[in-house]
Amino acid sequence: MMSQEKIIAQTEAYVRETLINGGAGHDWWHVYRVWKNALHIARTEPVDLFVVELAALLHDIADHKFHGGDETIGPKTARVWLEKLNVEESVIAHVTKIIASLSFKGAKVATPMRTIEGMVVQDADRLDAIGAIGIARAFAYGGSKGRLLHDPNVPVELHESFETYKNSPAPTINHFYEKLLLLKDLMNTETAKKIAIQRHMYMENFLKQFYAEWEGQDCQP
Ligand code: ADP
Ligand code: NI
């Protein structure tokens, strides 16, 4: 039986190799940041760290967006990998369950987490969608889809289903109202909540400046 340390190291290498050229926000460095965030949040939570680390490392190993919308591809790919390393079934079941329940699916779609390990990883992933990094990721994603930065004539929509959320062609600024500004209040842990408040303020300042520049209001004496 391989040690937990070795399993983590091998998983890190596998994910790094698989996602190193991943575009539109799901590159290795996103996973790296989520992993670090998760370790930080986990310090103040009673968790099985092995499960937290494996779920953080494998959470974006295969994205439904690049597999014809197949939402089971992520957990399936993670399972195949963990079985190859002979990880025990209870850990595999827990990790794949976390991966399956992680994603944001729309402003009005609930995405509950049942275990503290899942809550930590969900918070860690959501922290990487807000703040300076979150802003950068949103515009990188919008750019990859050829979307406008902003269009004052396109109203914000709070999506009721994952279908309408993921197929929305709205400009990237709308994504702030449809997801990014909502995340602060969706954090599961106190530690993540504190970090989220800072990152949230940073986004609000960004938006204020963005709208001022849009109308050239900052050009006046
Ligand atoms: P994750 O669950 O890792 O946050 P997603 O696949 O939902 O992954 O999104 C990847 C990144 O792209 C995130 O930073 C997210 O906020 C951003 N993103 C997703 N949908 C949009 C969109 N419609 N417009 C702009 N950015 C988006
Ligand atoms: Ni992610």
**Ligand 1: residue whose CA is nearest its atom 25:** 138
What does the alpha-carbon distance between residue 25 and residue 136 come to, in Å, rounded to a whole number?
9
**What integer pLDDT is reported at residue 105 of this predicted model?**
86
Contacts of 172 by beta carbon, 8 Å cutoff, 6+ apart: 138, 139, 141, 142, 147, 148, 149, 150
Ligand nearest to the CA of 60: 2
Residue 19 to residues 5, 24, 31, Cα–Cα distance (Å): 21, 11, 9
Q: What percent of the chain has pLDDT over 70?
A: 97
Residue 20 confidence (pLDDT) above 80: yes
Q: How confident is the model at residue 57 (pLDDT cuts 50, 70, 90)?
A: very high
Nearest bound ligand to the CA of residue 131: 1
* Ligand 2: centre distance to CA 26 (Å): 7
pLDDT attached to residue 218: 86
Tell me which of 173, 179, 199 to substitute to probe ligand 1's pocket, judged by most ligand atoms within 8 Å of the beta carbon. 179
Tell me which residue of 190, 70, 68, 176 sits closest to 130, measured CA to CA.
176
Evaluate: CB of 74 within 6 angstroms of ligand 1. no
Does residue 57's CB lie within 6 angstroms of at least one atom of ligand 1?
no
Listed range (94-103, 107-116, 192-201) with the worst mean pLDDT: 107-116
Amino acid letter for position 56: A
Residue 64 parent element (H or E): none
Q: Given a cut of 80, is residue 220 above it in pLDDT?
A: no
* Domain 4-214 listed as CATH 3.40.50.880: no
Spatial CA neighbour of 208 closest among 176, 185, 178, 182? 176
Cα(155) to centroid(ligand 2), Å: 27
In sequence order, the 6+-apart residues with CB closer than 8 A to the CB of 73 are 62, 63, 64, 67
Write down the pLDDT at residue 23. Answer: 62
Confidence (pTM) = 0.94
Tell me the two tokens of residue 31: 């996973």
pLDDT in tens, 132-157: 999 999 999 999 999 999 999 999 99
The alpha carbon of 85 and the centre of ligand 1 are apart by a number of angstroms equal to 30
Mean pLDDT across the chain, nearest whole number? 93
Instruction: Compute φ and ψ for 77, nearest 5 degrees.
Output: -65, -40
Residue closest to 2 by CA, chosen among 39, 46, 50, 47: 50
pLDDT class of 112 with cuts at 50, 70, 90 = confident
